[in-house]
Chain A
Amino acid sequence: MTTDNVIEISGLRKSFGAHEVLKGIDLVVPKGKTVVLLGASGSGKSTLLRCVNFLETPTAGTVAFNGRPVGTPKGAAGERSYSDRELRVLRARIGIVFQQFNLFPHMTALENIMEGQRAVLGRSREEAAARAEDLLARVGLAGRGGAYPSHLSGGQQQRVAICRALAMDPDVMLFDEATSALDPELVGEVLRTMRSLREDGMTMLIVTHELGFAYHIADEVVFLSEGRIYEQGPPEQVMLHPKGERTRQFMLGHSEFRLPHLD
């Protein structure tokens, strides 16, 4: 089976104890497209993102990667079981960038970017280092490979984290509020890096609170509310002319979002 959708999510549910965070999500991320998830905190957008590479295990529903459903069915209620091995193979092909960077503090920037290439892709030291240097140069950090994360600014750390994910040559990149932990003056450098990825044709699924950025980068905006997709469509439609009352309230609540803001 072939498909142009890198990710297809159907009927996805996720509960933490008695609390159901995701209440049946259907969503596709087409190849080369950028999908942005918006919503108030607690709407389930980060959980949804984390279900895509199974950092959270869905309670029910399926996630298909490049047309192939992940896991095997188990029980009648739409549960599935996932083997460690299958998830490792899957995760190697899905890049994720975290709010808190999560760089390995005992390794230099270069070693951070080399680790996955060496451990998972089996690349040689030279090959991995060369790839890491290339990526660092691409995000404007040429020559900083020898620095430990604690000697880098937040924005620099996040760009190293993006390189670490890109080094695996992923089919899709997930961004989980990648700029939320950054000082305001450092947000721009990370957003620029993300935008350059889009220009290179990377498939991306992004959770962000930067609405101006979301407007410019998104092919599709998905607005979540209380664990369901409340409204979705092109950014002009969802963000400028929202149909739903909750979407309208959300946009009104973010008064810093003004258009046009093209640069």
Chain B
Amino acid sequence: MSVKQANRFGFGINQSRLINYDTSDRKVREYVTLMEPSFRLCFACGGCTAACIAGQHISFNLRRMNTLIRRGEIDLLRDEVTRCMLCGKCLLVCPRGVNTRNVVAVTAEAIRKLDNNEL
């Protein structure tokens, strides 16, 4: 069976739903990892999100944001990163010692730089 036929049976992924890891923008991930290396330690337990004050009211989710950075989902990140109030409560919970607050700060910085073609 050719690839084209296989796709017709639903083995393909609709472009709008797809995370294309090969073509995604890695610049933000690389910048965040460089500026805050503890970012790499997240194992997605969600402790930060459970403790998050902003997340109690609006759809801010730091655990999900970390994944968006890793996957290069810049458009979704752009909005997400503005929602954190930098209170740092997540820092108290993180079992991996990620400097969570700084992850948000440097992500915002990375996106600003990306938009100014500085990355």
Q: Are A and B physically bound partners? A: no
Interface residue ranges, B against A (CB under 8 Å): none
